[in-house]
């Protein structure tokens, strides 16, 4: 049996007629840049999240970049982030001439440790950017308390977490700004790149809107230098269709995660820990095992899709050697980088396929 890590064809065919109609409408009206579907999608996401404003941008990476710009991050500033995350979290900070400052993660949730933040704050710290990794929110209340105490902005990197909740609140709505990615493999994925910034601050939303169109207030008038970062109308049209199904898909992911949790209980496999105050949407179902690389080989030999997110902690990346970090500085992040592997958890995964995955993993850990 061949089991993919993710099968977007199954998702597409389940709503094919709706997707095709939405795409054809854009092709017929030819308003490909900031067409009406973009505004409609922004309004729908804002309503879905319960936040005031949503601004569509070209990618999740750009959502982070424009949000930090809107928060006033400049060369020489510092932004606090976890080292166990996708590269874009740190990359956007560097692109603004600022410095990423790392804080270690919790071993079981993979998210930023709030009680380690304050010791890393300096007079140059401008913002904190917690990452809601793999579909679960970071512990935001203590993060917000520290930010308020030190007058810092908070940008939520919710690229993997649209639809997840923290104490009843949607991911992205707790900090000053929240950032989503609509990369095709995300729980709400387009047919290409796409992203969004959400906020309840009208001034910040207006600033992000200007930044996405070269810093223009009106065509050809530029009070600031911005970027070319607009969500394509075609992507917005597709995402508008998919948004209606997001909660249903998240529920199915949670059901499959629970099957794994039961199957791997009382084994040496470390399964994801869902905090009691969180609603985890399992963008990835990530387990931790001591002999991860051999498990990966075993799964691939049995034609089971899997992937490693992330094999090298950001503080050890070659491009960040200048920051002076060394192995051992963030032990939790380093441990998980050597042990984690993600296995299939997408909504269309069949019961038979999931049982096959479980069987092969159990075969491996018995050997």
- What is the tens place of the pLDDT at every residue in 196-247? 999 999 999 999 999 999 999 999 999 999 999 999 999 999 999 999 999 9
- Same domain for 168 and 297, yes or no, is no
Euclidean distance between CA atoms 176 and 130, whole angstroms: 12
Per-residue pLDDT band for 76 (boundaries 50, 70, 90) equals very high
The pLDDT assigned to 155 comes to 98
On the question of pLDDT at 51 being above 90, the answer is no
Q: Are residues 67 and 108 in the same domain?
A: yes
Pairing of strands 99-102, 78-81: parallel
Domain boundary residue, one of 243, 269, 295: 243
Q: Is the pTM of this model over 0.85?
A: yes
Residues near 52 by Cβ (< 8 Å), separated by ≥ 6? 46, 199, 200, 201, 202, 205
**Which range of residues forms the domain containing residue 15?**
8-243
- Residues 288, 291: Cα–Cα separation, whole Å: 9
Question: Residue 277: its pLDDT value, please?
Answer: 98
Strands ordered across the beta sheet of 165-166: 169-170, 165-166, 278-279
**Whether 194 and 257 share a structural domain:** no
Residues 57-70: tens digit of each pLDDT: 999 999 999 999 99
SS3 277: coil
The pLDDT of residue 174 is 98
Q: What is the pLDDT of residue 291?
A: 95
pLDDT for residue 367 is more than 90:
no
What confidence score (pLDDT) does residue 5 get? 98
Domain boundary among 194, 222, 243: 243
Q: Are residues 25 and 152 both part of a single domain?
A: yes
The model's confidence at residue 299, banded by pLDDT at 50, 70 and 90, is: very high
71 Cβ contact partners less than 8 Å away, ≥ 6 residues apart: 126, 127, 153, 155, 176, 177, 204
* pLDDT over 80 (residue 188): yes
Cβ atoms of residues 341 and 287 within 8 Å? yes
Tens of pLDDT along 134-151? 999 999 999 999 999 999
Q: Find residue 180's DSSP bridge partners.
A: 196
Q: Looking at the structure, tell me whether residues 73 and 175 fall in a common domain.
A: yes
Res 138: pLDDT = 98
Contact call for residues 155 and 176 (beta carbons, < 8 A): yes
pLDDT of residue 146: 98
Average pLDDT for the chain: 97
Does residue 301 share a domain with residue 226? no
Q: Give 316-347 pLDDT, tens digit per residue.
A: 999 999 999 999 999 999 999 999 999 999 99
Mean pLDDT value of segment 19-47: 98
pLDDT at 290: 93
Confidence of residue 366 (pLDDT cuts 50, 70, 90): confident
Rg (CA), the chain: 20
Residues 30, 41 within the same domain: yes
Q: Alpha helices, DSSP H only, in the chain?
A: 8-14, 16-29, 36-49, 60-70, 88-95, 140-149, 202-212, 233-243, 246-264, 292-301, 331-339, 351-366
Number of domains in the chain: 2
């Amino acid at each position: 049996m061949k089991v993919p890590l993710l099968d977007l064809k199954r998702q597409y065919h389940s709503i094919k007629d709706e997707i095709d109609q939405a795409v054809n409408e854009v092709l017929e009206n030819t308003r490909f840049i900031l067409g009406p579907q973009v505004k409609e999608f922004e309004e729908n996401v804002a309503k879905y999240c319960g936040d005031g404003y949503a601004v569509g941008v070209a990618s999740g990476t750009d959502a982070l970049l424009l949000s930090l710009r809107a928060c006033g991050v400049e060369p020489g500033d510092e932004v606090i982030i976890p080292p166990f995350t996708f590269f874009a979290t740190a990359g956007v900070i560097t692109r603004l001439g600022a410095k990423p400052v790392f804080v270690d993660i919790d071993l079981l949730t993979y998210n930023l440790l709030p009680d380690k933040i304050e010791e890393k704050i300096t007079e140059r710290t401008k913002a904190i950017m917690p990452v809601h990794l793999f579909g679960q929110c970071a512990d935001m209340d203590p993060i917000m308390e520290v930010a308020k105490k030190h007058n810092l902005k908070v940008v939520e990197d919710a690229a993997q977490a649209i639809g997840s909740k923290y104490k009843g609140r949607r991911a992205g709505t707790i900090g000053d700004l929240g950032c989503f990615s609509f990369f095709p493999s995300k729980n709400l994925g387009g047919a290409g790149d796409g992203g969004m910034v959400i906020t309840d601050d009208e001034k910040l939303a207006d600033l992000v809107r200007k930044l996405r169109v070269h810093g223009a207030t009106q065509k050809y008038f530029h009070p600031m230098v911005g970027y070319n970062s607009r969500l394509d109308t075609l992507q917005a049209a597709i995402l508008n269709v998919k948004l209606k199904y997001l909660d249903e898909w998240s529920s199915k992911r949670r059901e499959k995660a629970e099957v794994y949790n039961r199957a791997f209980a009382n084994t040496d496999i470390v399964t994801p820990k869902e905090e009691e105050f969180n609603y985890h949407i399992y963008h990835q179902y990530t387990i931790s095992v001591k002999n991860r690389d051999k498990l990966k080989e075993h799964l691939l030999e049995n034609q089971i899709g899997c992937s490693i997110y992330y094999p090298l902690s950001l503080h050890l990346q070659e491009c960040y050697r200048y920051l002076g970090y060394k192995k051992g500085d963030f032990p939790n992040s380093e441990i998980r980088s050597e042990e984690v592997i993600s296995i299939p958890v997408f909504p269309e995964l069949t019961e038979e396929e999931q049982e096959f995955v479980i069987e092969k993993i159990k075969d491996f850990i018995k050997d």
